[in-house]
Structure 1
Amino acid sequence: MLFPFAMLGMDKLGGSISKSREEIKACNMVFYFLVGNVFFLSLISGSLLDELGEYFTHPRSIPSHLASAVSAQADFFVTYILTDGLSGFSLEILQPGLLVWDAVKSRTAGRGDEENPYLYSLPYFRIIPSVSLSILIGMVYAVVAPLMLPFLVGYFYLGYVVYVNQIEDVYETAYDTCGQYWPYVHHYIFIGIILMQITMIGLFGLKSKPSASIATIPLLLLTIMFNEYCKIRFLPTFRHYSVKDAVEHDEQDRNFGEMEINCENARSAYCQPNFATTKLHGIKVYFLAAIGFFIVIS
């Protein structure tokens, strides 16, 4: 799948201050692209403009439309989970793309260079959105089609085995995430819960149970309030570096005599890519834009 790498390239050109920040931004964009392209576009049947026009003119019918569409597409998402699990995890173990790239590079541009490992750090921006989409699908279909849950359990079990092996024995650790992805994963799960509850409201309406639909609305509001509480209570922990850890790192740098060197490197480490005059900068922008446009229309 080329879209995650296209998003990562656009984030690099956007001027992120670190590799982790680039991958976090790419992870966020890839997740929303998958939700819109795989989940919602698969649910919308018929003419896209007609469906969207009906949703805008009759917003109260969105839960019922969502419930009916989700019920009709259960077989498709079961197939999607099986295909993504069996083929995706198999390709993850075999790494055919990187093997081909290493073979081509060693015989063309990289001929005569020193041998470098062709495997890189764990591609969080590609793995987390795909797994989060599976969690979202499982939450939505836990009420509509519970028979999908065994397939999801098998998917996550197989993914656990594969990625434990990849993290321990295959990928190199380029940086420590320090839990920076957890707020985003929490947000993705929150989106899945909200979609599940909206689907429940529409499903109870289709089953002619208005009392159950009305009783689900406070649950939706409580979920939103709990998410806001989590943002206030826990989100600052991930955004602000603790003084204790900062002091420990400073003492470690001072003991090894790296304090002045790190300060000098910090002053000149970041350069806005737009200000960097390179001949290939414009070519990269147009190339990545063309890749993104091709992926969207396909």
Structure 2
Amino acid sequence: MNFEAEFEFARIGGESIIKFPSVFAEGSKILLFACGSVVQLHSTETGVELKKLMHDAEVSFITVSDNLNKEFEVFTTTVDGFVNRWNWKDAVILTRWKFQDEVIQMHFIDSTLTSAYVIFKPSVAKNAMFRLVTFHQDGQFSTTEVFNNFSSSLQSFCFANNNKCFAFILKDSFGVIDLKGKQRRPIYHKHSAILITGHPTEPILATGSSNGEISVWDRIFQHQLSCTICHWHPYVISHLVIRDNSLLSGGQEQVLVKWDLRDLNGRNGKSFCARLHGAALLLMRNV
């Protein structure tokens, strides 16, 4: 089964567009990506550059408040510990917050954009920190520890199930934290993987391994998970993303694979798009 007919391909921007991190806004009409200390906004329909957001240090993360009922806002973090809230049309920073440690991911959990789960980069002296941060408009903030007792560096991590789940990969296992539970202690599972992704609204996770194997997990808040193994990629999995009832996977083969979560190993469980003309490093779904 082939799903190439579902896709239209367009190259937008130059060679430097494939630079982490990247994010869509306005229902996929705008793509934001970082090149060093500059965040560029491009139209996905025309490829035209809309704006540049200049920083004093390298950008480590981008997120947007993509509310279709009003103008979206851009939040960026930099390696020197700053979090910036932008008016992107005027390229003006509205508010800045300064942390002691570098923020490597933020995940807002309210529509007012005041509370977010924040992951801080590990250092020589300590492992990664996971905190709930409340941002105040005067540049101040307050934090609550969620979990900081990671036994080793985080290889990969994600949120799932309407922000109820935080999942992460360590050296030889992965852990799942129930963020709505009374005790935010991880349930660990012995498993070798290099990346993990979560379903945005369902308790489903997917992990990818160095040999191309994909494992799809459900019942994630239980000690005995249900696991389905999918194996098509002969090489390392570069990226995974879940939306609705499908899982997209990509890697060195220059092929995009679409898996049906309802029929993973069935007759119509997967379909292919083989015209990528390059290895897939990052996958993003815009709907």
Q: What is the TM-score of this pair, normalised by structure 1? A: 0.20
Larger Rg: 1
Select the structure with the greater relative contact order (CA < 8 A; seq sep ≥ 6).
1
Structure with greater strand share of residues: 2
Higher helix share: 1
